[in-house]
Structure 1
Amino acid sequence: MKIRISSSTTFDSIVDGPGLRMVVWTQGCIHNCKECHNPQTHDLCGGYEEDTQKIIDKIKTLKLQRGITLSGGEPFLQQEALEEIAKEAKSNKLDVWTYTGFTLEYLLDITNPTRFKNLNLLKQIDVLVDGKFEIEKKDFTLKFRGSSNQRIIDVQKTLKYKKIILVEEYMQEELFEAK
């Protein structure tokens, strides 16, 4: 399967999720957030096509990385290819973070005829950073996100409990339970 990516894979990111991470930079975005830090990823025909097997082969070589991050661009414009990549990451005991300009509510809204029909990628994602970057809400003190409207969501717990579970809330609960 082919995927359109904007640049070569990053193997040693420490800002796109916790720990050392491999980042897959997807090409193509429809959000056009003002002052986006990756404007070169917006063109749907930009970047270049890569075979997903090449990315999977790279995942199999990872040794120090805690996980992979799917970023872009807009990853949900290439769900099928990223689902294949995320499955391989999970089978290699790596966590999967994904950044999207969509909200999780939008992605899950079955009454919305324009939403995506195949949401199998969500089943492979551990953490979703959702929402468009909003320059008016930019905050340098935020960890793993650029603006305060963006949320860091525990996807699997959210799907299980059918309500949004933020990673911060979950981490606080774990800390309290440990005492």
Structure 2
Amino acid sequence: MNYADIKKWDVANGPGIRVSLFVSGCTHRCKGCFNEEAWDFEYGKPFTKETEDIILKELEKSYYKGFTLLGGEPFEYSNQKVLAPFLKRVREKFPDISIWCYSGYLFDKEITGKMLPKWAETAEMLKYIDVIVDGRFVEEQKKVNLLFRGSENQRIIEVRKSLEAGRPILWEPPEYIHVVVDENPHEVGVAPEICGK
């Protein structure tokens, strides 16, 4: 397997600061793809044991919350054969890290419906992946304000819950408390006697 890029400090492809691996090889060839050069299975550099070690070393830094696989297409079978044992290494070394994967294949119809019964590597990958963003990129459904997706048809799916339920269960972002400060923002957290109130 070849890879197109390793991105450090990635905040666009999953929650928190992540390391992202962009693998080479994709047969979807989606119109408007942002990473068209990675369609070619020979594009980029060979993914070696040394490459794996570089990623694992980077993930040791405390500010990383996750690891993301993109492409290209991680679920192309030739890529699965390399990624399944690598994901095992990631999960064994970092049991609490969040692992996300982007795939043009549909989770229920293609990944679990066709690949899972056929290839042991698919089951192995799904064992370690927490969330899959599935579906081909559709340029006509592109929206720049979508959270962690390129087009509206794509779904963010919780893998374990979905496998247990036998149907796709969508991932929900954690709720955040939004605080609006109408008055002087410099007074927030200051004792009343100090700010004169």
TM-score range for the pair, normalised by the shorter chain length: 0.7 to 0.9
Q: Does 1:163 align with 2:161?
A: no
CA–CA distance in 2 between the matches of 1:53 and 1:155? 29
Query: Residue 19 of structure 2 contacts residue 55 of structure 2 at CA under 8 Å; is this kept in 1?
Result: no
- Indicate the structure (1 or 2) with the bigger Cα radius of gyration: 2
- 1:77-92 matched pairs, under 5 angstroms: 77=76, 78-91=79-92, 92=94
CA–CA distance in 1 between the matches of 2:174 and 2:67? 20
Q: Deviations over 1:29-75 (max 9, x none)?
A: 10000010000101122222121453234313421211100001000
**Residue matched to 1:11:** 8
In structure 2, the residue corresponding to 1:17 is in which secondary structure?
A: coil
**Residue matched to 1:177:** none
1:30 counterpart (23, 27, 30):
27
- 1:88-167 matched pairs, under 5 angstroms: 88-91=89-92, 92=94, 93-105=96-108, 106-110=110-114, 117-118=119-120, 119=122, 120-167=124-171
2:48 counterpart (51, 65, 78):
51
| Structure 1 unaligned regions, length at least 5 | 173-179
CA–CA distance in 2 between the matches of 1:57 and 1:141? 32
Q: What TM-score does the superposition give when structure 2 sets the normalisation length?
A: 0.77
**Residue matched to 2:185:** none
CA–CA distance in 1 between the matches of 2:43 and 2:148? 26
Superposed CA RMSD: 2.2
CA–CA distance in 2 between the matches of 1:125 and 1:147? 22
In structure 1, the residue corresponding to 2:47 is in which secondary structure?
A: strand
In structure 2, the residue corresponding to 1:84 is in which secondary structure?
A: helix
Q: What TM-score does the superposition give when structure 1 sets the normalisation length?
A: 0.85
Query: Residue 56 of structure 1 contacts residue 88 of structure 1 at CA under 8 Å; is this kept in 2?
Result: no
Structure 1 residue ranges, 4+ long, deviating more than 6 angstroms after superposition:
none
